[in-house]
């Protein structure tokens, strides 16, 4: 009897020993950005005395607010396993249409003299309509999301420039540009709104049934469909929500500079992907958290601000974005290898 007990327990760990808790490898990229952010702040304080000032951090928050809203939009699309390059043009076209309809002809407007409130509603409707169109064509029409949204990016950019003949719209009503020009408690309203978007997006993905469905669809579409998830509806809804968020972000920028230019949004999508990728959002879908995307936006905002304060040429700022993306991809490959 005693020998059989010895044989059964031989080679097994003691019952009293508790398993070790390990940090998920999927969180590695998010954790890595925290010391990187701290390093940029330390470097900035050494290189430029104006970096660690309240006014400068408010400028960073103002710049990062619009970027953050688009990053959340793109992250949602990436999590379901798709891409949306046209968010760059929605960011420019939606506020352009809204401003074009409310300013007089003397200010390059249509002359319809619509109210600012109606202009904002139209702006949101433009983003929603483009997002729905993209979603329906990609999901129901089975178009490749990269190619289709690339074509939409080019088409919408042309419309943005064409309706104003390449001009810039100025002198918009104060209520129309309030989101990007006002401040609460010394902090830009755009930063408050962007923070709320990040918070709502994170809670939605973590606790809402549709948020969890987004991860399931990005992980395995057929398994999600077999589990009873309405895959097509969720994917189309994600594109629609992304379009609305991009139009809100465009309004933030228009309010900040008090103008809508014919090229607003040019090259924005590269910075958006940089923030999402370095924040741990997987390009293959199904993995990543909004918290990581937020840290990616913060890091890019700090880096770009430091380069501007150091009077670095614009093309070197673009090179820095590219270098950050490459570093993130290498780290992502390392993490993926470890996970497997």
Domains (range + CATH), the chain: 28-37+53-339 (1.10.3470)
Average pLDDT, rounded, for the chain: 87
HSE (CB half, 13 Å, CA atoms) of 285?
Answer: 19
Least confident range of 33-37, 95-99, 154-158, 171-175: 33-37
> How many other C-beta atoms are found inside a 10 Å radius of the C-beta of residue 144?
11
DSSP lists the bridge partners of residue 187 as 184
> How many other C-beta atoms are found inside a 10 Å radius of the C-beta of residue 221?
17
- Better-predicted residue by pLDDT, 329 or 8: 329
**pTM score, whole prediction:** 0.87
Q: What is each CA distance from 161 to 66, 104, 119, 127, in whole angstroms?
A: 21, 18, 19, 17
Residues in CB range of 15: below 8 A, 6 or more apart: none
Calculate what percentage of the chain has a pLDDT beyond 90. Answer: 62
The answer to whether the beta carbons of residues 93 and 129 sit under 8 Å apart is: no
Q: 68: closest CA among 184, 194, 156, 186?
A: 194
HSE (CB half, 13 Å, CA atoms) of 83?
Answer: 20
The answer to whether the beta carbons of residues 159 and 93 sit under 8 Å apart is: yes
Task: Supply the angle between the helices 209-219 and 54-79 in degrees, to the nearest 10.
Answer: 60
- Pick left, alpha or beta for residue 261 (phi over 0 → left; psi -120 to 50 → alpha; otherwise beta): beta
Query: Please, which pLDDT band fits residue 339 given cuts at 50, 70 and 90?
Result: low
Coil, strand or helix at 187:
strand
**Residue 337 pLDDT > 70, yes or no?**
no
User: pLDDT tens digit string along 96-138?
Assistant: 999 999 998 888 888 788 899 999 999 999 999 999 999 999 9
User: For position 298, what pLDDT does the model report?
Assistant: 93
Calculate mean pLDDT across residues 182-195. Answer: 95
State the Cα–Cα distance between residues 276 and 281, nearest whole angstrom.
5
Q: What is each CA distance from 55 to 41, 136, 196, in whole angstroms?
A: 15, 44, 22
User: pLDDT tens digit string along 204-243?
Assistant: 999 999 999 999 999 999 999 999 999 999 999 999 999 9
């Amino acid at each position: 009897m005693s020998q059989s007990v010895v044989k059964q327990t031989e080679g097994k760990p003691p019952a009293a020993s508790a398993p070790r808790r390990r940090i998920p490898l999927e969180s590695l990229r998010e954790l890595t950005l925290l010391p990187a952010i701290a390093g940029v702040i330390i470097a900035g304080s050494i290189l430029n005395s104006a970096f660690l000032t309240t006014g400068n951090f408010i400028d960073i928050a103002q710049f990062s607010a619009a970027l953050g809203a688009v990053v959340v939009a793109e992250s949602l699309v990436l999590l379901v396993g798709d891409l949306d390059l046209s968010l760059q043009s929605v960011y420019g076209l939606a506020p352009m249409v809204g401003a074009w309809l409310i300013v007089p002809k003397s200010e390059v407007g249509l002359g319809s003299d619509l109210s600012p409130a109606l202009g904002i509603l139209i702006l949101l409707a433009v983003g929603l309509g483009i997002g729905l169109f993209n979603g329906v064509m990609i999901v129901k029409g089975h178009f490749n999301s990269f190619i289709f949204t690339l074509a939409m990016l080019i088409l919408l950019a042309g419309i943005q420039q064409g309706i104003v003949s390449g001009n810039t719209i100025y002198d918009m009503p104060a209520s129309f540009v309030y989101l990007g020009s006002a401040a609460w408690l010394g902090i830009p309203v755009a930063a408050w709104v962007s923070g709320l978007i990040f918070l709502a997006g994170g809670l939605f993905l973590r606790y809402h049934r549709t948020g969890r469905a987004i991860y399931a669809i990005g992980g395995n579409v057929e398994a999600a469909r077999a589990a009873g998830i309405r895959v097509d509806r969720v994917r189309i809804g994600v594109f629609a929500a992304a379009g609305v968020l991009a139009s809100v972000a465009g309004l933030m920028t228009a309010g900040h500079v008090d103008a809508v230019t014919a090229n607003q949004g040019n090259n924005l999508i590269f910075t958006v992907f940089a923030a999402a990728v370095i924040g741990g959002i997987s390009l293959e879908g199904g993995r990543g958290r909004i918290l990581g995307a937020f840290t990616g936006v913060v890091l890019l905002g700090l880096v770009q601000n430091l380069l501007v304060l150091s009077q670095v040429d614009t093309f070197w700022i673009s090179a820095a974005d590219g270098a950050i993306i490459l570093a993130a991809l290498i780290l992502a490959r390392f993490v993926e290898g470890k996970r497997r």
